[in-house]
Amino acid sequence: MSRELGLKELYLGFRDPKAIKVYAKLIEQEAQKIPNEVNIMEVCGGHTHAIMKYGLNQLLPKNVKFVHGPGCPVCIMPKERIDHAYVLSEQKDVILITLGDMIKVPGSRGTLQDARAKGSDVRFVYSPMDTLKIAAQNPDKTVIFFAIGFETTTPMTAALINQVIEKRINNILFHINHVTVPEPMRVLLDDETNKIDAFIGPAHVSVISGSKIYDEFPRDYKKPLVVSGFEPVDVMKSVLMILKQLSEGRCEVEVEYSRSVTHDGNTEAQKLNNMYFEKREHFRWRGIGDIAKSALKLKDEYGYLDAEVFYKEILPNEKIDDHKLCICGDILKGKANPVECKVFGKACTPSSPLGSCMVSSEGACAAYYKYGNLL
Ligand code: SF4
Ligand code: SF4
């Protein structure tokens, strides 16, 4: 007799403590074959959380370490872009819409939560498509979708744009802050002081982009990369795959998360993205600085949907630095650990964050705080 598998049954195997222990043993054996220290950067905040939640860092041998990377779209958003959202929300008859944690990140004028407390109509949605309903219910208002995220969420914004055009909706505008993964990875590797020996590649991003976007890292930088799922068994297996590459003298892109990731990715989603977006010349990443061609904007022909074009005259553009004690920049570059920050868990906590890595639920500081017995 057949029966459907419950959700729990689907993921339990990927969290099985016995399997994690077996991988820890295999990792230890493989690490013994490697004489030097191995620093593995997990690019994505989702992996940072899995590592901290399941204590995977404590299961690694002495010569293998995780370093945390710039893979959270909230953590890398510079203050001036948050100020854009703040100013837009203050405009007459505007409803500003965004996703999750963005509402809590402080810009130089405060957070979007503060703007809301002062009377702005700021709402957060779980799906960009909810914007359509809000626009239909408020025909006299301009609804601005403040779009954030990596390759993962870009197709959802593109699908929303598609709907707006097809249905000839005339009260939705877009403020586009989508960023792309390979460019910051390149910047980190071009920095000669970097401590990165290999990468754990993002899961969701790679479902859309395919693993092909990482081909340059083994080829040009001689750094192995394994695209990994988010569950603890996935992460441990990925570490083992990386160590095997290093001990066997191989250097390539491998996909541990083969249940969802292919080399070419979701080509339909990529087509949709290419229809509406093109690369910006530059985008400033919080803590890292200007990175060429690392973010997207609406193509000029869709300028009539672009809030940055429509509100050009009022949007502030001065660059704003982080709090002087905040070392988010070094954390996002894999050069420091959250506990090395002097104000970690003291002046900076999730309820009163000084930097974005403590705000975002995917941020490294938030992960260390949440899973380091500080709550
Ligand atoms: S959106 Fe997905 S891939 Fe990107 S940082 Fe978050 S969890 Fe990682
Ligand atoms: S603990 Fe706070 S101030 Fe320190 S690096 Fe993290 S976010 Fe910045």
Q: Which of 302, 323, 344 is the last residue of a domain?
A: 323
Rounded Cα distance between 204 and 364, Å, is 18
Give the ligand 1 atom nearest the CA of 152. Answer: 1
Q: Do 133 and 164 sit in the same domain of this protein? A: yes
Which pLDDT belongs to residue 285? Answer: 92
Contact (CB, 8 A) for 101 and 79: no
What range defines the domain where residue 174 resides? 37-323
Q: Has residue 18 been placed in a domain?
A: no
Which pLDDT belongs to residue 317? Answer: 83
Q: Do 199 and 265 sit in the same domain of this protein? A: yes
What integer best gives the mean pLDDT of the chain?
93
Q: Which ligand is nearest to the CA of 180?
A: 1
Ligand 2, atom 7, residue with closest C-alpha: 355
Pairing outcome for strands 142-149 and 198-201: unpaired
Q: Do 345 and 265 sit in the same domain of this protein? A: no
Q: Which of 19-28, 40-49, 228-237 has the lowest mean pLDDT?
A: 40-49
Give the ligand 2 atom nearest the CA of 355. Answer: 7
User: Which of 41, 150, 285 to mutate for ligand 1's pocket (most ligand atoms within 8 Å of CB)?
Assistant: 150
Rounded Cα distance between 25 and 216, Å, is 31
Q: Which ligand is nearest to the CA of 73?
A: 1
Q: Do 337 and 245 sit in the same domain of this protein? A: no
Task: Give the confidence band of 8 by pLDDT, cuts at 50, 70, 90.
Answer: low
pLDDT tens profile 36-53:
999 999 999 899 999 999
Q: What's the token pair of residue 49? A: 């959380």
Mean pLDDT score, 109-131: 95
Residue with tokens 């409803």: 95
Give the ligand 2 atom nearest the CA of 365. Answer: 6
Q: Has residue 14 been placed in a domain?
A: no
Q: Has residue 21 been placed in a domain?
A: no
Which pLDDT belongs to residue 166? Answer: 98
Mean pLDDT score, 279-290: 92
Rounded Cα distance between 56 and 63, Å, is 14
pLDDT(310) > 80: yes
Q: Has residue 22 been placed in a domain?
A: no
Q: Has residue 315 been placed in a domain?
A: yes
Rounded Cα distance between 42 and 115, Å, is 34
**CATH number reported for the structural domain that contains residue 237 in this entry:** 3.40.50.11740
Q: Has residue 139 been placed in a domain?
A: yes
Q: Do 197 and 332 sit in the same domain of this protein? A: no
Other Cβ atoms less than 10 A from the Cβ of 318: the count is 8
Q: Report the predicted TM-score, pTM, of the whole model to 2 decimal places.
A: 0.91
pLDDT(188) > 70: yes
Which pLDDT belongs to residue 372? Answer: 80
Mean pLDDT score, 271-300: 95
Rounded Cα distance between 25 and 150, Å, is 34
Q: Has residue 7 been placed in a domain?
A: no
Which pLDDT belongs to residue 354? Answer: 86
Q: Do 348 and 241 sit in the same domain of this protein? A: no
Q: Which of 99-108, 124-133, 136-145 has the lowest mean pLDDT?
A: 99-108
Residue 367 or 88, more confident: 88
Percentage of residues of the chain with pLDDT beyond 90: 78
pLDDT(11) > 80: no
88-120 exposure pattern, b = at least 16 Cβ within 10 A, e = fewer: bbbeeebbbbbbebbbbbbbebebbebbbeeeb
Mean pLDDT score, 206-222: 98
Mean pLDDT score, 158-173: 98
Q: 226 in the Ramachandran plot: left (φ > 0), alpha (ψ -120 to 50) or beta?
A: beta
Residue 251 or 317, more confident: 251
Give the ligand 2 atom nearest the CA of 342. Answer: 4
Contact (CB, 8 A) for 125 and 99: yes
Residue 101 or 347, more confident: 347
Which pLDDT belongs to residue 353? Answer: 85
Q: Do 339 and 246 sit in the same domain of this protein? A: no
Q: Do 217 and 111 sit in the same domain of this protein? A: yes
Task: Give the confidence band of 319 by pLDDT, cuts at 50, 70, 90.
Answer: confident
Pairing outcome for strands 38-44 and 198-201: parallel
The CB-side HSE value for 331 (13 A sphere, CA atoms) comes to: 29
At 24, the amino acid letter reads A
Q: Do 347 and 225 sit in the same domain of this protein? A: no
Q: Do 225 and 134 sit in the same domain of this protein? A: yes
User: Which of 333, 354, 369 to mutate for ligand 2's pocket (most ligand atoms within 8 Å of CB)?
Assistant: 354
User: Which of 79, 357, 370 to mutate for ligand 2's pocket (most ligand atoms within 8 Å of CB)?
Assistant: 357
Which pLDDT belongs to residue 3? Answer: 61
| HEC profile of 231-275 | CHHHHHHHHHHHHHHHHCCCCCEEECCCCCCCCCCCHHHHHHHHH
Mean pLDDT score, 92-101: 92
Q: Which ligand is nearest to the CA of 341?
A: 2
Q: Which ligand is nearest to the CA of 344?
A: 2
Q: Which of 3-12, 46-55, 307-316 has the lowest mean pLDDT?
A: 3-12
Contact (CB, 8 A) for 235 and 50: yes
Mean pLDDT score, 95-100: 92
pLDDT(374) > 60: no
Q: Which of 135-149, 230-244, 278-292 has the lowest mean pLDDT?
A: 278-292
| Total domains in the fold of the chain | 2
Which pLDDT belongs to residue 12? Answer: 75
Give the ligand 2 atom nearest the CA of 357. Answer: 7
Ligand 2 neighbourhood includes 343 CB (under 6 angstroms) = yes
Q: Do 354 and 300 sit in the same domain of this protein? A: no
Contact (CB, 8 A) for 39 and 65: yes
Ligand 1 neighbourhood includes 205 CB (under 6 angstroms) = yes
Which pLDDT belongs to residue 286? Answer: 87
Residue with tokens 């990386």: 242
Ligand 2 neighbourhood includes 365 CB (under 6 angstroms) = yes
Ligand 1 neighbourhood includes 107 CB (under 6 angstroms) = no
Q: Which ligand is nearest to the CA of 72?
A: 1
Ligand 1, atom 8, residue with closest C-alpha: 44
Ligand 1 neighbourhood includes 362 CB (under 6 angstroms) = yes
- 48 CA distance to ligand 1 centroid (A)? 10
- In the chain the beta strands, taken as DSSP E runs, fall at 38-44, 64-71, 94-99, 121-125, 142-149, 172-178, 198-201, 225-227, 253-255, 277-279, 282-285, 289-292, 296-298
Helix (H, G, I), strand (E, B) or coil at 297: strand
Residue with tokens 């965004």: 98
Backbone angles phi and psi of 287, in degrees to 5: 80, -15
The CB-side HSE value for 372 (13 A sphere, CA atoms) comes to: 15
Backbone angles phi and psi of 117, in degrees to 5: -60, -30
Q: Do 208 and 113 sit in the same domain of this protein? A: yes
Q: Has residue 12 been placed in a domain?
A: no
Q: What's the token pair of residue 38? A: 């191995």
Report CA 138 to chain centroid distance, whole Å: 31
Which pLDDT belongs to residue 4? Answer: 63
User: Which of 343, 346, 349 to mutate for ligand 2's pocket (most ligand atoms within 8 Å of CB)?
Assistant: 343
Q: 194 in the Ramachandran plot: left (φ > 0), alpha (ψ -120 to 50) or beta?
A: beta
Which pLDDT belongs to residue 244? Answer: 98
Mean pLDDT score, 194-222: 96
Mean pLDDT score, 345-360: 88
Residue 12 or 46, more confident: 46
Which pLDDT belongs to residue 375? Answer: 44
